[in-house]
């Protein structure tokens, strides 16, 4: 029983073989997937997938890349989506100073606004952060999410991770933890308590070793669990069970699944 806590199964890359992807996932013991929105259309598709498939749950929100396009209508529609019974989180939200597709001032404004909306909806948040460690840290300290949150595909330092966990956040690890040059990520995974770790694929991106270079899919989250088990010197089954329990805790803030 494994929970892929962050995927994008609404991506067009799955348009031709979605049912085959779902079948492989189920046969591999991947029992739940959180499909994460990046903008309003993908958030709506996430909710639709969650309604159509019993193993899919949804997160809704505006990624920092699309922050500059958000309007009052966007927020009204997202708040309606947040009331759907299988919406478990608000995300992915945050800051991306690597690609800078929206002005940084707007990214910050929209990030803060979405934390407040998540608090209103009673949902935890899922944070995307790239090359913006200090800025994100300052915002979550000043505007703490009332229902907790997850740093998806965590890429920061162990020092930052300690601060985040003290603030109540979980750390989620994806394909990069399996890469040969991922010394810092492996270090963080080694130090972090197993009861604060989640696993994800970020499908169709960030495919783990040994399948790197191919399209990612939820089945491959087993490689992330395998790596966490190796780092923690745990049996695979124990790492799978604990990360599943962790996901149930953070995502069950408002809804039973």
Between the alpha carbon of residue 57 and those of residues 5, 87, 211, the distances in Å are 9, 6, 25
Give the span between the Cα atoms of 75 and 106, in whole angstroms: 15
Burial of 20 per CB tally in 10 Å (0-12, 13-18, 19+): exposed
Is the Cβ–Cβ distance between 186 and 177 less than 8 Å?
Answer: yes
Assigned domain for 46 exists: yes
Assigned domain for 257 exists: no
User: Helix (H, G, I), strand (E, B), or coil: what is residue 143?
Assistant: coil
Residue 93's domain comprises 2-251
| Confidence class for position 255, pLDDT limits 50, 70, 90 | very low
Interval 39-53: pLDDT, tens: 999 999 999 999 999
256, pLDDT greater than 60: no
Assigned domain for 256 exists: no
Assigned domain for 134 exists: yes
Assigned domain for 180 exists: yes
Is the Cβ–Cβ distance between 255 and 86 less than 8 Å?
Answer: yes
C-alpha torsion angle, residues 82, 151, 132, 123 (rounded to 10): 20
Tell me the CATH number at 12: 3.20.20.140
Assigned domain for 130 exists: yes
257, pLDDT greater than 80: no
Query: What's the structural domain count of the chain?
Result: 1
Give the span between the Cα atoms of 177 and 220, in whole angstroms: 13
Is the backbone peptide bond immediately before 148 cis, with ω within 30 degrees of 0? no
23, pLDDT greater than 60: yes
| Confidence class for position 252, pLDDT limits 50, 70, 90 | confident
Assigned domain for 66 exists: yes
Interval 78-117: pLDDT, tens: 999 999 999 999 999 999 999 999 999 999 999 999 999 9
Is the Cβ–Cβ distance between 230 and 13 less than 8 Å?
Answer: no
| Confidence class for position 254, pLDDT limits 50, 70, 90 | very low
């Amino acid at each position: 029983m494994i929970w892929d806590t962050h995927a994008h199964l609404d991506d067009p890359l799955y348009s031709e073989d979605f049912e085959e992807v779902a079948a492989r996932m189920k046969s591999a013991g991947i029992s739940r997937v959180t499909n994460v929105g990046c903008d309003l259309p993908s958030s709506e598709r996430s909710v639709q997938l969650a309604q159509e498939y019993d193993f899919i749950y949804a997160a809704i929100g505006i990624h920092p890349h699309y922050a500059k396009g958000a309007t009052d209508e966007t927020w009204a529609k997202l708040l309606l989506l947040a009331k759907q019974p299988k919406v478990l989180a608000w995300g992915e939200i945050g800051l991306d100073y690597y690609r800078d597709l929206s002005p940084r001032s707007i990214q910050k404004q929209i990030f803060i606004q979405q934390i407040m909306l998540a608090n209103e909806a009673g949902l935890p948040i899922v944070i995307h952060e790239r090359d913006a460690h200090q800025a994100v840290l300052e915002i979550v300290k000043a505007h703490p999410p009332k229902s907790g949150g997850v740093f998806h595909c965590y890429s920061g330092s162990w020092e930052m991770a300690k601060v985040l966990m003290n603030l109540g956040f979980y750390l989620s690890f994806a394909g990069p933890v399996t890469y040969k040059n991922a010394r810092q990520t492996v270090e963080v995974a080694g130090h972090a308590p197993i009861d604060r770790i989640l696993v994800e694929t970020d499908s169709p991106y960030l495919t783990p070793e040994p399948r790197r270079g191919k399209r990612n899919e939820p089945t491959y989250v087993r490689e992330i669990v395998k790596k966490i088990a190796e780092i923690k010197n745990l049996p695979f089954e124990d790492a799978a069970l604990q990360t599943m329990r962790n996901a149930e805790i953070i995502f069950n803030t408002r809804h039973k699944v």
